[in-house]
Chains A and B, each alone.
Chain A
Amino acid sequence: MSEQPIIELKGITKTFGEGAAAFQALKGVDLSIKRGDFVAVMGPSGSGKSTTMNILGCLDVPTSGVFKFLGTEVQSLNKDQRSLLRRRYLGFVFQGFNLLARTTAVENVELPLLYRGEHKAERREAALRALDRVGLRPWADHTPAELSGGQQQRVAIARALVTDPEVLLADEPTGNLDSERSIEIMEFLSELNGQGITILMVTHEPEMAEFAKTIVHFKDGLVERIENGARNHAHAGSGVNG
């Protein structure tokens, strides 16, 4: 392996609850992801894929194990340090879009820049650029209620992109969309990936997973198997370590 992986999980476990009610969601996950990969995480509900995504998104910490993100051991960071990591390197796209209601598209996209303390004019300019990237510049002043589901998800993607993140985390990004819109979104994500951004996506739809370069199957809190995406992407070479 020529390059240091951007994300490295070693022996990750996660237990919810305590004592008799304790539930072990992850039982020792090992995974490494290279820069520029497009990874689809699949698995039945309860398989640990969401928990893994939460940990990868620095929203949650593992009970044990090592999670290295860009060389930093995330499991030993506190809440605020993880926030700073998210703000700097991560972009999120959610199943429910999670845009702020009664707030225009451009203001939604500006939100992450707000916390980076950028100036108003720069914020606006960057947000408009991001909207341009998702083809929604003309809708900049519309509120989510005035946009279709596909458009809302594209605004959400623009919001994730506006900070030029290293990694884009997408949790069921097509879960609330019809198949036509879903394919549009997936094609767009592939395009972004082609521009060099690493994408991690949770999905339960095999057709959507096909867009990824790498597909990671979870089962019972463990990585079951890893396969290459059906589309003939040049494979970036992620794999299980050990």
Chain B
Amino acid sequence: MFGTTLMLAFREIRRHLMRSFLTTLGIIIGVSAVITMVTLGRGVTADIEEQISSLGSNVFFVFPIQGERGQFRPFDEDDVTAVREQIAGVKSAAGQVDSNVVAIYNGQDWETTVEGVSGEFMDARGIEMDVGRRFTEAEETSGANVCIIGPTVQEELFLTGESPIGERMRLNNVSCQVIGVFASRGSVGGGGDEDNSVFMPLTNVQRRFTGNDNIGYMAVSYDSAYDSATMTNALVDLMRERRVLLEGQANDFDIVDTAQINETVQSTVGTMTIMVAAIAAISLVVGGVGIMNIMLVSVTERTREIGIRLAIGALAKEVRLQFLTEAVVLCCFGGLVGMILGFVFSYSLAGALGFPFIFDPFINILSFVISALIGILFGYFPARRASQLDPIEALRHE
């Protein structure tokens, strides 16, 4: 009996192909929107996860921030040394300072950032070399005019593809010799191109560009045997002591943990995904109402047919099953098309926006099952109405 009902449903849908398609449009849009949103959300999460892992693992970033009384006290090299030497578990601590500059090579200008760094900083951030070498200890101490350029800078200034190693370029008025190119570290959270940067020894940048001993932030890497909370407490205690903060005064510095960023961003993206998917799911419900509407029209249109079936001896439940099956088949068809469209949309959008495409079987199956359930939910009322028709009245219907 069920196979026959299914066949009847297909026949009826084929008979009104255009109407059936338009009816299921709501379901199609709903399912494809939910799938697209969730799939893109997963892609974004994976993308951010990768970017954050590119910041290095087991790393803190320590920034000075404005204190309670509006004071802003930058760090200096002594703070970095203190962290390195006084806290157990710290593998490396390094300061960084940066300044916006114009890089000039062979008559080409390029706006970039000069970053004062050290080998230790590169270790902490997990920055690898693409070609060339790092600064030597002597260069770091003396503040030699040597630089390591980022991939973007190489691309923009060394247009003919020549090796930049050994070439001299200018950063504002400061001349420097390129000794290496660092490997791409990607862009973090859309906050600019991390590869558009030129490294110089820290002391050199302080002397020639910023003109003081301040450092912008510290990167502190720690042994993975120590846990994040212990390390954070030790850091806070040390910095408060060094900055003579009294009890009750708020920190005028901030510690950011990559693990913590990761967690925050993931939960934010997760929440956003759920919200957007929920909005998309509303169109599924609207689609269900559309199905119910058309099924009611169909029941009215086919009153005579229902009368014939009942007169011939169809049971009420058989008529109900027939109309219910029709609604469910329509919704499943919508769900299937929605899944295909969702795949196409999320695949092409992920490509266009540069996110990885991560197929999520769960949301696909869930969307399909939900569309089938919507068919049952919104198909039941019209089906019940059909089954409760009086055969005599129905046969008289014009």
Is B385 close to A, CB under 8 A?
no
Cβ contact within 8 Å between B312 and A117: no
Given contacts A59-B392, A102-B15, A117-B1, contact A111 B316 (CB under 8 A): no
Please give the number of chain A residues whose Cβ is less than 8 angstroms from any Cβ of chain B in the complex.
25
Is A63 close to B, CB under 8 A?
no
Total cross-chain contacts (CB, 8 A) = 51
Residue of B nearest to A118 (CB): B4
How close is B197's CB to chain A, nearest CB, in angstroms?
Answer: 72
Give the chain A neighbours of B313 by CB distance below 8 A.
83-88, 90, 112, 115-116
User: Which stretch in B43-51, B75-83, B256-264, B300-308 binds the other chain?
Assistant: B300-308
Given contacts A60-B392, A98-B304, contact A92 B315 (CB under 8 A): no
Give the chain A neighbours of B308 by CB distance below 8 A.
98, 100, 111
Residue of A nearest to B398 (CB): A96
Cβ contact within 8 Å between B311 and A115: no
Residue interface bits A43-80, CB-to-B below 8 A is 1, else 0: 00000000000100101100000000000000000011
Per the bound structure, the CA–CA distance linking A117 and B313 in Å amounts to: 12
Q: Which of B4, B311, B318 contacts A59 (CB 8 A)?
A: B311
Cβ contact within 8 Å between A84 and B311: no
Give the chain A neighbours of B4 by CB distance below 8 A.
114
Give the chain B neighbours of A218 by CB distance below 8 A.
none
How close is B174's CB to chain A, nearest CB, in angstroms?
Answer: 85
Per the bound structure, the CA–CA distance linking A111 and B306 in Å amounts to: 12
Cβ contact within 8 Å between A54 and B312: no
Cβ contact within 8 Å between B392 and A54: yes
B window 117-155: CB within 8 A of A: none
Residue of B nearest to A101 (CB): B305
Q: Which of A88, A98, A112 contacts B395 (CB 8 A)?
A: A98
Residue interface bits B376-398, CB-to-A below 8 A is 1, else 0: 00000000000000011001000
Give the chain A neighbours of B392 by CB distance below 8 A.
54, 59-60
Is A94 close to B, CB under 8 A?
yes
How close is B371's CB to chain A, nearest CB, in angstroms?
Answer: 28
A80, A102, A115, A117 — most chain B CB neighbours (10 Å): A115
Give the chain B neighbours of A54 by CB distance below 8 A.
392
Given contacts A54-B392, A59-B391, A59-B392, contact A80 B311 (CB under 8 A): no
Per the bound structure, the CA–CA distance linking A102 and B4 in Å amounts to: 17
Per the bound structure, the CA–CA distance linking A79 and B310 in Å amounts to: 10
Cβ contact within 8 Å between A79 and B311: no
B window 1-16: CB within 8 A of A: 1, 4, 15
Is B314 close to A, CB under 8 A?
yes
How close is B396's CB to chain A, nearest CB, in angstroms?
Answer: 9
Per the bound structure, the CA–CA distance linking A116 and B268 in Å amounts to: 58
Q: Which of A79, A80, A92, A102 contacts B312 (CB 8 A)?
A: A92
Per the bound structure, the CA–CA distance linking A89 and B304 in Å amounts to: 22
- Nearest first, the 3 A-B pairs at minimum CB distance are A87-B313, A86-B313, A112-B312
Q: List 24 A-B contacts (CB under 8 A).
A: A54-B392, A59-B311, A60-B392, A79-B316, A80-B316, A83-B313, A83-B314, A83-B315, A85-B313, A86-B312, A86-B313, A90-B313, A92-B311, A94-B395, A98-B304, A111-B309, A111-B312, A112-B312, A112-B313, A115-B309, A115-B312, A115-B313, A115-B315, A116-B313
Give chain A's interface residues, CB within 8 Å of chain B. 54, 57, 59-60, 79-80, 83-88, 90, 92, 94, 98, 100, 102, 111-112, 114-117, 159
If A83-B314, A87-B314 are given as contacts, then 16 extra A-B residue pairs at C-beta distance below 8 Å, sorted by A number, are: A54-B392, A57-B311, A59-B392, A60-B392, A79-B316, A83-B313, A87-B313, A88-B313, A90-B313, A92-B312, A98-B307, A111-B308, A115-B309, A115-B312, A115-B314, A159-B312
Give chain B's interface residues, CB within 8 Å of chain A. 1, 4, 15, 304-305, 307-318, 391-392, 395
